[in-house]
Amino acid sequence: MPSLKPIDFADIFGTTLDHLSEATLKAIAAENWNYRVLEGAERDAIVLDLLKRIESRRLTLVQNEDKSRWERGWGENLDDFEKSGGKLEALQPKYIRPGMPVRLFRQFVQPEDPNFESNWYSIYRAWFVNKHLAAYDNIFEFGCGSGFNVAYVAQQFPKAHVVGLDWATPSVDIVEGLRAKHGFNVAGRRFDFFHPDESLDMPMGSAIFTVGALEQTGTQWEKFLDFIMRKKPACCFHIEPIYEWYDHEHSLVDYTAWKAHEVRNFWRGFPGKILELEKHGRARILKTKRINFGSLVVEGYSQLFWQPL
């Protein structure tokens, strides 16, 4: 049975084995990374089910300025957080579903461990946060959702001020609860990608990041990009599903994700715009990396890191 090795993690992350820390290597060694590639009838069943869901529009769609879904979803995490007395485990997003097949190296695979995706993300997040956010005193997560990234960053860098922004009220309440219950140096604030709040104070040298949040802006990301260009943070880190990077003309696995992006009206056009800004001397692209890992429907963890100039 194949299994992810440390060198595979390095390749997926877009780094080299010698740049994985001892802590990362130890975390990898602690989990079960065995998986089985789905082939033949099993693979066909996955593809057919996805295509039928796409054709019948049985996938959740982006609805501009409709935040009711997020009020309900993050409201569930808020309820769990409060009922548990503030346990951080209650912040695990419910869209990470245990036991499901995942996308890996442009194939569908069935992991042996039902928590394969959540375990993988925990290691990926730890690597990303400690490699890319450690130098910043002010860190902003836009679209912070359940607050589980805000909590993690605040734990890693107690002296940094971490701001969690979301348009859903429960998300803001969760972040405020993190400060009240755990003493984290965090603040929650309402923020709408479609109507950016210009009064937001972003100190010079700040970092911003998003994780699966900009996907919900579809093609309506212009106002947020303009906002970033005006605020000029030191660096922008986007970990998102990126429509343009699928090989939909040659890979059926990629085609299902590409088609799902279209039907769901997910984020697209943004990487090309950043490239255009770079050509005009208004931005600098630091890293672009397709992450060959994802959930059953899309690859949600690709990297677009850049700086406004």
Query: What string of DSSP letters covers 186-215?
Result: EEEEE--TTS--TT----TT-EEEEES-GG
Per-residue pLDDT, 63? 54
d(CA 214, CA 208) in angstroms, rounded, equals 12
Span 237-248, mean pLDDT?
A: 96
d(CA 236, CA 94) in angstroms, rounded, equals 26
Above 80 in pLDDT, residue 57? no
Above 60 in pLDDT, residue 113? yes
DSSP codes of every residue in 4-70: --HHHHHHHHTS-GGGS-HHHHHHHHTS--BEEE--HHHHHHHHHHHHHHHHTT-SPPP-TT--HHH
Q: Are 81 and 90 in contact (CB under 8 A)?
A: yes
Per-residue pLDDT, 128? 98
pLDDT band at residue 96 using 50, 70 and 90 as cut-offs = confident
d(CA 127, CA 112) in angstroms, rounded, equals 23
d(CA 21, CA 130) in angstroms, rounded, equals 10
Per-residue pLDDT, 66? 66
What's the mean pLDDT when you consider all of the chain? 94
* Cα 203 off chain centre by: 24
d(CA 30, CA 9) in angstroms, rounded, equals 14
Per-residue pLDDT, 141? 98
Per-residue pLDDT, 62? 52
Per-residue pLDDT, 67? 72
Span 77-82, mean pLDDT?
A: 94
Residue 208's Cβ-count burial label (10 Å; 0-12, 13-18, 19+) is buried
Provide the residue ranges of all domains of the chain, joining segments of one domain with +.
Answer: 6-60+92-132+192-308
Per-residue pLDDT, 61? 52
pTM above 0.85, yes or no: yes
d(CA 182, CA 151) in angstroms, rounded, equals 9
Per-residue pLDDT, 32? 98
pLDDT band at residue 95 using 50, 70 and 90 as cut-offs = confident
User: Could you report the per-residue pLDDT of 140-198, keeping only the tens digit for each?
Assistant: 999 999 999 999 999 999 999 999 999 999 999 999 999 999 999 999 999 999 999 99
Above 90 in pLDDT, residue 73? no
Q: Which of 5-14, 27-36, 209-218 has the lowest mean pLDDT?
A: 209-218
